[in-house]
Amino acid sequence: MIDMSRLGVDFAGVHFKNPIIPASGTFGYGREYEEFFDLSLLGGISVKGTTGSRRNGNLPPRIAETPSGMLNSVGLQNPGIDHFIGEELPYLKTKNTVVIANIAGSNEDEYRTVAEKLDSTDVDMIEVNISCPNVKAGGAAFGVSCDGAARITRVVRKATSKPVMMKLSPNVTDITEIAKACESEGADAVSLINTLLGMRIDIRTKRPILHNNVGGLSGPAVFPVALRMVWQTANAVKIPVCGMGGVSSWEDAVEMMMAGAVLVQVGAALFSDPNCPVKIVEGLSEYCRNQGLSSVTELTGSVKVW
């Protein structure tokens, strides 16, 4: 039995019973994982990235293993916002956990439309993926420039009264500048990092393993990079930070929080251990007890830098 008494956190006006959340794109809508554990044990769930209409995603192969990680180019396959609101959200709201709708789009209008539709629902928070290709800018991701990140933040902020969390791309020169641009346009929080851009080649066929040629790298290999970016960002903005990127154990979660994260998302680790999030919650509870902490919030930003 997990003792949640020390694990509650408040984040952007929303209360979470614990800080652990399965990351968007790795957990679907939770139905499959419910075979392994009670979803109410989670602090929240960030659902599959949702767009204005159904997307079939990229052509296969779209997953490739790498040392200490994986590459993916799934391409935002999802059933669309109307299906999510009508079919998936009612199910998720019975699970006694915070529901975070992750949204994406190819242009400002798509972000606006999806956010507006979610505004009248009982979704608890909106996480905005700005690593999507901007079709009007030749495919460059919105999140790789301060201007692009600020514009999408502004659009979503005007479209909804829900708490807005911007999910940042690590494929930038200075992630703190992107975070500050989002903050300046009304973001309630930021989450980071999304995947790092990577590539693998099949030396027999001389072709990239992924049909899309490149994909997003996730897993333990990216953890030190993610940790560094979380630390930098937490010290650059006043809004709260949700940390992710290579988290696979409760020790990783503690590090993320010490670096400045209030919440922690778990992604690729779910594919090798579906019970990973619950094990992390259990480990955090035990760590707080052993360290004599009255609240897990005491960990956030507690790193003592040299």
What are the backbone dihedrals phi and psi of residue 5, each rounded to the nearest 5 degrees, phi first? -60, -25
Q: How far is it, in rounded angstroms, from Cα 151 to Cα 141?
A: 12
The angle that helices 175-184 and 146-159 make with each other, rounded to 10 degrees, is 30
For residue 140, what pLDDT is reported? 66
| Strand arrangement of the beta sheet that strand 20-22 belongs to | 20-22, 263-266, 241-243, 189-192, 164-167, 125-129, 98-103, 44-46
169 — pLDDT class (breaks 50, 70, 90):
very high
Tell me which residues are annotated as active site: 132
Examine the pLDDT at 138 and tell me if it is beyond 90.
no
Examine the pLDDT at 241 and tell me if it is beyond 80.
yes
Averaged over 247-257, what is the pLDDT? 98
For residue 1, what pLDDT is reported? 72
Helix, strand, coil abundance in the chain, percent, nearest 5: 35, 20, 45
131 — pLDDT class (breaks 50, 70, 90):
confident
| Strand ranges in the chain using DSSP code E only, listed in sequence order | 9-11, 14-16, 20-22, 44-46, 63-66, 69-72, 98-103, 125-129, 164-167, 189-192, 196-198, 201-202, 207-208, 215-218, 241-243, 263-266
Please name every residue paired with 217 in a beta bridge, in sequence order, or none if there are none.
Answer: 71, 196
pLDDT digit string, tens, across residues 185-217 = 999 999 999 999 999 999 999 999 999 999 999
Quote the mean pLDDT of the chain: 96
Examine the pLDDT at 5 and tell me if it is beyond 80.
yes
pLDDT digit string, tens, across residues 6-47 = 999 999 999 999 999 999 999 999 999 999 999 999 999 999
Cα angle 92-95-96, degrees, rounded to a multiple of 5: 120
Examine the pLDDT at 139 and tell me if it is beyond 70.
no
pLDDT digit string, tens, across residues 155-166 = 999 999 999 999
For residue 155, what pLDDT is reported? 98
- Assigned fold of 4-299: TIM Barrel (3.20.20)
Is pTM, for the whole model, over 0.85? Answer: yes
